[in-house]
Amino acid sequence: MNILIVEDEPNYADTLEMFVDELGYQTIGIAEEGQKALKFFRSKQPDLVLLDINIEGEMSGIDLARIFQAERPTPVIFITSYDDKDTFNKAKETVPSAYLIKPFDPVQLERSMELATLRAYTTSHEEDVFEDNRHVVLAKDFFFVKERNKLVKLMITDILWVSVEDKYCILHTENKKFVIRQSLKELADKLNPQEFVQTHRSHIVNIKKVEDIDLSQFTIAINGEEVPLGKSYKDNLIHRLQTL
């Protein structure tokens, strides 16, 4: 998370920078007056602003917060020595994420920062603009197969055949094999029955990839390899094929 610090007291500015660093965040700029703060804000686009109210120059921290929210709504935490109600009410108009009084409590500041970013970047950005889409399968012509920490795209049309070993299904393609922990029945439910057919108790083939069927040897040739054809599956396969 990138943090902009706007503070004209050097000791407080240094303390805040060290605090941000200890939390594992990045300080993208320290500004003691409004114009410099605006320059950092527009060029660095911080995720969060730690903002003093009484700063050098013509603009106050409250003025800056108004500009920030008008240009690019960003979480702002005021850290100020002003604890009067009038200043608080003016600051409240900018809808800050928190209003902390100096000297600030590090634990309170840390929690305020976490809650500010949670509200700003989780609630608003995770709004689902599609209604009731949880049960809609995305793009049914391919799978994403998990390989370690990656999801690898596999076009269904690239599957030559599927075989079973123990509790795993092996998806054979021309150049690669994908191993998934899933039953043959579970996988079959996700395949198009007009293109995939079971030829053995442990095999499913992509009929479009079949090169020939040896009825005497009970084998199916795919990509130069032989896939078994079970006797109990042969009649169903032949019945469903278009033959001349």
Instruction: Enumerate the β-bridge partners of residue 101.
Output: 80
**Strand duo 177-180 + 196-200: pairing:** unpaired
- Superfamily holding 2-123: Response regulator (3.40.50.2300)
Query: Phi/psi class of residue 38: alpha, beta or left (left: φ > 0; alpha: ψ in -120 to 50)?
Result: alpha
Quick: pLDDT tens for 190-217: 999 999 999 999 999 999 999 999 999 9
Summarize the confidence of residues 16-26 as an average pLDDT.
90
Quick: pLDDT tens for 63-99: 999 999 999 989 999 999 999 999 999 999 999 999 9
Beta-strand runs (E) in the chain: 2-6, 26-31, 48-51, 76-80, 98-101, 142-147, 150-155, 161-165, 168-172, 177-180, 196-200, 203-206, 210-214, 219-222, 225-228
Cα separation, 113 vs 76, whole angstroms: 9
Residue 133's pLDDT is what? 62
Quick: pLDDT tens for 130-189: 666 656 666 678 999 988 778 899 999 999 999 999 889 999 999 999 999 889 999 999
Topology of the domain comprising 142-240: OB fold (Dihydrolipoamide Acetyltransferase, E2P) (2.40.50)
Residue 32's pLDDT is what? 95
Cα separation, 63 vs 68, whole angstroms: 9
Residue 7 has pLDDT above 60, yes or no: yes
Label residue 89 exposed, middle or buried (CB < 10 Å: 0-12, 13-18, 19+).
exposed
The domain spans of the chain are 2-123, 142-240
Residue 120's pLDDT is what? 77
Residue 124's pLDDT is what? 47
What's the 3-state SS for 63-81? HHHHHHHHHCCCCEEEEEC
Reported as a pLDDT band with limits 50, 70 and 90, residue 1 is confident
Residue 129's pLDDT is what? 66
pTM, two decimals, is 0.51
**Residue 198 phi/psi, 5° resolution?**
-80, 130
Residue 20 has pLDDT above 60, yes or no: yes
Residue 122's pLDDT is what? 64
